[in-house]
Amino acid sequence: MPGARCCSRPGENAAGRFGLTRKTASASRGNCRRGAPSGPATLGAVFVETDAKGLAVRVELVRVGGRLKEHLPLP
């Protein structure tokens, strides 16, 4: 979105601007993270197994590294 910022402008609700129902306290206070993140990185993805026609027959979460619990698709 052109001109989009991580924080809302004074008097503007970021949640309403993007159609979200939940407000973020840090955005309403103007406390946005700036700069590179620190700590271990997490890879998050979705594994999709398809049949011969290209239709999904299995969908699983993939999460590797970082501080979150690891989750890999079952064989």
- What is the rounded CA–CA span in Å between residue 19 and residue 1? 14
24 burial type by CB count under 10 A (0-12 exposed, 13-18 middle, 19+ buried): middle
Per the DSSP assignment, residues forming a β-bridge with 2 are none
- What is the rounded CA–CA span in Å between residue 2 and residue 16? 17
**Residue range 24-75, pLDDT digits in tens:** 555 556 666 677 778 889 999 999 999 999 999 999 999 999 888 999 998 8
Helix (H, G, I), strand (E, B) or coil at 28: helix
**Residue range 12-26, pLDDT digits in tens:** 555 555 555 555 555
